[in-house]
Structure 1
Amino acid sequence: MPNQPFSFPGQTGFYRGKVRDVYSFANHPAGPRLVMVASDRISAFDVVLPRPVPHKGQVLNQTAAYFLQATADIVPNWLLTVPDPAVSAGIQCEPYAVEMVVRGYLAGHAWRTYREGGRVLCGVTLPDGLRENDRLPKPILTPTTKAHEGHDEDISRDDILARSIVSEADYVQLENYALALFARGTDMAAKRGLILVDTKYEFGRVGDTIYLIDEVHTPDSSRYFYTDGYAERLAANQPQRQLSKEFVREWLMANGFQGKDGQTVPTMSDEWLTQISTRYIELFETVTGQSFQPAPEEDRDAQIEKAIVAYLQTNN
């Protein structure tokens, strides 16, 4: 994946995120468009780790496209086409400044907060007596602010409305969309022998229409447990077998890194990177039921650039 950005005819903007390179084309003949290149970069604790993970960008892009297409009946989404296995192109939206995080189980950040005594998460009160990885009484919304740099921060519904980050009418619609998407994702995961534990959704708008944007139900935005053995592991107080990026976070924490000032990212060996890549591919194949076909590695940047140029010559 390119270390340096491409430059395309008609390009009006560029943004490099933690994982994706985003090109904007405000004057596209069919209307403002975005082209996203999913890189092999990997981030944890809001820090981009120093070494890329083979095939990760393709896994993310194809997983997101699969779920965007499978949820288009719930909410319109930004995706129009996938011109390359690592590239998506679609409608440029004005993003909302919050991410809608839905949690169905007490895991990850929520569990760490709960374990330290916290019983209110983003304005939602959690009952006493829960264990790590317990199913919550019902899925909860725990929004975060969106940070272009640094850490996203938890925020409550009341604070979002009080600070006028999102209007109440729009926020209600975002809540409804997020919960409906989570229910669909839960059903789709169950059919594949998985539990959708938690995930995040991002939304934008064009005029009066709200769109689902970015990625959906990918290993970077979601946590999955295997259904088989879940109850037994929970009863025995054992870690769940899971498909998510959490194992990367756990490895970093075990090696003294949580993204805090003064901490150094531990060395990532070739073997460790291969293991991460294998996990990502396993998730794609498990959640979609499709076989992963790696894009040819030779002249990969040239392939991506050619595919984007060809897309820009269309009226889509």
Structure 2
Amino acid sequence: MSLADKVLAVNNDLPIRTDRPVHSGKVRSVYWLTEADSRRLIKEKGYDVAADAPLAIMVISDRISAFDCIWHGEGGLNGVPGKGAALNAISNHWFRLFKENGLADSHILDIPHPFVWIVQKAKPVMVEAICRQYITGSMWRAYSKGEREFCGIQLPEGLQKDQKLPEILITPSTKGILKGIPGVPEADDVNITRQNLEDNFSAFNLSCKADIDLYEKLLKEGFGVISDALAELDQIFVDTKFEFGYVTDASGNEKLIYMDEVGTPDSSRIWDGAAYRDGNIIENSKEGFRQWLLNYFPDPDILLNKERMSERESLARDNALPVEVMMDISSTYVGIAEKVTGQKLVFSDNPKADIIEILRDKYGLID
């Protein structure tokens, strides 16, 4: 079996019983279960959700996205071996630690397979909750050009690239394009201030003003849990993005939960501690791949300039990347997953067939 065959690149064609279109994102696909199947599983498995809560099967893939495009390798390698299993294993580990530390639940109810989550439908908070402990990336690019205010927070003069910030900063942005909010441009990923949230909390899908404090608390404490655990492995948690939503439990109580993924190399920057102390940056996250792309193509502006999206899409479509680059990404993701979880990742030769068998035999979701 070739390397390309072991990669799960297409994840929206599984024969899971659903009466709605499959939602396919950059990395995950979501299959909404029928009302009958949702009710049956809630009863059979004893999930702590309302009896009529809509459930979904979320299947991760091995696809790699960067700069809002999906990239592929030579020889039909349409994903990164082990990436999907690594992302899910890392998220599962952090979600469990959050729960053990009394923070909040996640949208995950069950994990039938390393590539698969059973999740409950949540009402998403329309905020990309971003937390930063170091000045790097887009924040450094803006700071080096003279910007000092970020999301209503004033940064001091004299900061150096990749320096630790005086305190952890919360720099939220919009999730999706939000319309009709005073002072917030109608575009994706627009930086917002705490004042924007206070003035228009319901437009961001927050239930009440007090939940701004709660989301910030869950963001900072979640960041702290991951940062402390990574520090024990001599890894630095540089910055990350969390997402939140609301669900109702079996008793009818609405609660704010973590959703999507947390603390993964896709949503965070993670640096090697020993290298940082020596004045070097070794990325244990997707940032290393982003930097490689910027150096590989002669005109990096295509990747950084949103006005050139069509050129960027052509670049990703028309360029098969060297296999060794895809395998470098694989070793980064698998390496950090095994460090974080303390366990070897187990790979399947045919993940799709395994997923189908489990969802058919143990969950009755495939005819």
TM-score (norm 1): 0.89
Question: Contact (CA 8 Å) 1:46, 1:151: kept in 2 or not?
Answer: no
- How far apart are the structure 1 equivalents of 2:321 and 2:188? 22
- How far apart are the structure 2 equivalents of 1:14 and 1:105? 38
2:136 to 98, 104, 107: 107
Question: Contact (CA 8 Å) 1:46, 1:259: kept in 2 or not?
Answer: no
2:226 to 162, 167, 185: 185
Deviation at 1:100, TM superposition (A): 0.5
Matches within 5 A, 1:50-199: 50=72, 51-72=78-99, 73-147=102-176, 152-163=189-200, 164-165=203-204, 166=206, 167-199=208-240
- How far apart are the structure 2 equivalents of 1:147 and 1:259? 19
Question: Contact (CA 8 Å) 2:11, 2:28: kept in 1 or not?
Answer: no
Which stretch of structure 1 is more off in the superposition, 223-232 or 7-16?
7-16
- How far apart are the structure 1 equivalents of 2:281 and 2:291? 13
Which stretch of structure 1 is more off in the superposition, 265-274 or 244-253?
265-274
| Aligned position for 1:8 | 16
- How far apart are the structure 1 equivalents of 2:198 and 2:320? 43
- Say which SS state the counterpart of residue 49 (structure 1) adopts: strand
- How far apart are the structure 1 equivalents of 2:21 and 2:31? 6
Deviation at 1:311, TM superposition (A): 5.2
- How far apart are the structure 2 equivalents of 1:228 and 1:252? 25
Deviation at 1:159, TM superposition (A): 2.4
Q: Which ranges in structure 1 are unaligned for 5 or more consecutive residues?
A: 234-238
Q: Which ranges in structure 2 are unaligned for 5 or more consecutive residues?
A: 1-7, 43-52, 73-77, 178-186, 249-253
- How far apart are the structure 2 equivalents of 1:274 and 1:179? 33
Q: Which amino acid aligns with 1:157?
A: R
Displaced runs of 4+ in structure 1, greater than 6 A? Answer: none
Q: Evaluate the alpha carbon distance shift between residue 117 and residue 311 of structure 1 in structure 2; reply closer, same or farther with a 3 A threshold.
A: farther
1:35 to 48, 53, 57: 57
Pairwise CA RMSD: 2.1
1:67-120 deviation digits (Å, cap 9, x = unpaired): 111111211111122111111112221111111011011122221221222111
Deviation at 1:134, TM superposition (A): 0.8
| Aligned position for 1:236 | none
Query: How many residues were matched structurally?
Result: 306
Q: Evaluate the alpha carbon distance shift between residue 142 and residue 270 of structure 1 in structure 2; reply closer, same or farther with a 3 A threshold.
A: same
| Aligned position for 1:223 | 269
Q: Identity across aligned pairs (percent)?
A: 31
Q: Which amino acid aligns with 1:205?
A: Y
